[in-house]
Structure 1
Amino acid sequence: MIKKETLDFLKELGDNNNRDWFMANKQRHDDARQNVIDFTQAVIKLLAKTDANLNAEADPRKCVLRIYRDIRFSLDKIPYKRNFGISLMQNPGGGRGSEYYIHIEPGKAFLAGGYWMPEASHLKAIRQEIDYNAHDLKQIVDTPEFIKLFGNIREQDRLKTVPRDYNADHPDIDLLKLKSFIAQHPLKDEELLKKDAVEKIVALCCKIYPLNVFLNNAIA
């Protein structure tokens, strides 16, 4: 589970986002990060029982994103993120692909999976897979349970025009217009603090797993 001290640190960091405060509270950051690393390891080990593309022995430290922001090209010079992000890549071939993502931030936590903003070649391959096998995708994302947990995937960011190589009257044009393929579920702070937080998050990931399989098969 995530410790209350971890959420408390992130909340206070949001109110004191400067180097002096951070350095004075560096040990609190290190303790919070270690909590997130331990949490990540538990998620990986349990989720790997369902998702064979995840290595149960993967180093969880490499899955927890750095808290330091890259401000080189940003007008916002706040130095630190207000969250811990956990990225569990699922593409067995390496490189970009589908993943599971856990966002830990007081009052704004969520779990997500799928493929955010695929690169051009991957997006083309996914659209081709939808063109050929839309029925398989719709059997995943159109079930009442999936919609209840993650919303309607068609309501995500879409092209305003018809994608190249497809006609406006294509029966699945709403899916072909998608720019990303994401399933997202909000998490309450109290859910993260409970002893069964790992089990609940893994159970949600398992609901996303078929979507990730469809996407990875498309770009394989």
Structure 2
Amino acid sequence: MEVACISKSTLFFLESLKENNNKEWFESHKAEYKHQQDLIKRFFKQVMLTLRTHDEITDLKVFRIYRDVRFSHDKTPYKRYFACSFKRAKPHLRGGYYLHIEPRNSFLVCGFWAPEKNDIKRIRKEFEVDALEVRSIVNHPEFKHHFGQLKGDELKTAPRGFDKAHPDMDLIKKKQWIVTKEFTDSQILAENFASEVDKAYQAIRPFFDYMSDVLTTDLNGTSLL
């Protein structure tokens, strides 16, 4: 099977769009946009097919290039990147994958970036009781190699009902539990880029497995499904 790769022409198109982010230019280059969209969709699909060899992926979502400017000070009509997400099979599998392609700003994100209120509470309670397992996962050399550390927006202080002095407050006060990995333009243009993305996606699996178990059981380990 032919290996799908990111094309230099895709980066060139995105650079041009950045410099000419207006409807007139975009409409006059609509055919080129459609071509680049087809190329990037082919690449995203290959990533999904590889991901499906070791995870249950139910959906590939390719994000629209059109920006919603209704509530934004930035009124430029088009995004300067291509991006997609891969959805895991809920309710038994939790977490998500995101991939972002942009000149000099390409990256992937994995984790829980918009968890529901009840999920946030359940995760925090788990960490309050015992955070040894999750710390062993995020401190594993393979995890560190790909992602560095666990990230995400967090509260300025302890959530209501939690001890401010709890030793695992750094984990408890988070509102997101995510990891990121950045790529240079040279890396995303390489023939093995899809493979490198998949290596990172495989590296997050111990964290996903742990968090899926947390979110599908109560504090006593009884299944909620």
Question: Residue 68 of structure 1 corresponds to which residue in structure 2?
Answer: 66
CA 1:136/1:91 → structure 2, altered by over 3 Å: closer, same or farther?
farther
> C-alpha displacement at 1:71, in angstroms?
1.0
Question: Residue 170 of structure 1 corresponds to which residue in structure 2?
Answer: 166
C-alpha separation between the residues in 2 aligned to 1:9 and 1:133? 49
Matching of residue 116 in structure 1 with residue 113 in structure 2? yes
Q: Matched residue of 1:31: which SS?
A: helix
* CA offsets 1:98-148 (integer angstroms, 9 cap, x no match): 211100000000011001132322211211232344222112111233223
Q: Is the 8 A contact 2:113 2:152 kept in 1?
A: no
Question: Residue 100 of structure 1 corresponds to which residue in structure 2?
Answer: 97
> C-alpha displacement at 1:31, in angstroms?
1.1
Say which is worse superposed, 32-41 or 136-145, in terms of deviation: 136-145
Match of 2:53 among 46, 49, 57: 49
Matching of residue 190 in structure 1 with residue 214 in structure 2? no
2:201 is matched by which residue type in structure 1?
C
Q: Matched residue of 2:83: which SS?
A: strand
Of structures 1 and 2, the larger Rg is shown by 2
Count of aligned pairs between the two proteins: 212
Identity within the alignment, % = 36
Structure 2, unaligned runs of 5 or more: 217-225
Match of 1:144 among 126, 141, 150: 141
> C-alpha displacement at 1:215, in angstroms?
2.7
The TM-score with structure 1 as length reference comes to 0.89
Q: Matched residue of 2:85: which SS?
A: strand
Q: CA RMSD in A?
A: 1.9
C-alpha separation between the residues in 2 aligned to 1:11 and 1:214? 40
Higher relative helix content: 1
The TM-score with structure 2 as length reference comes to 0.87
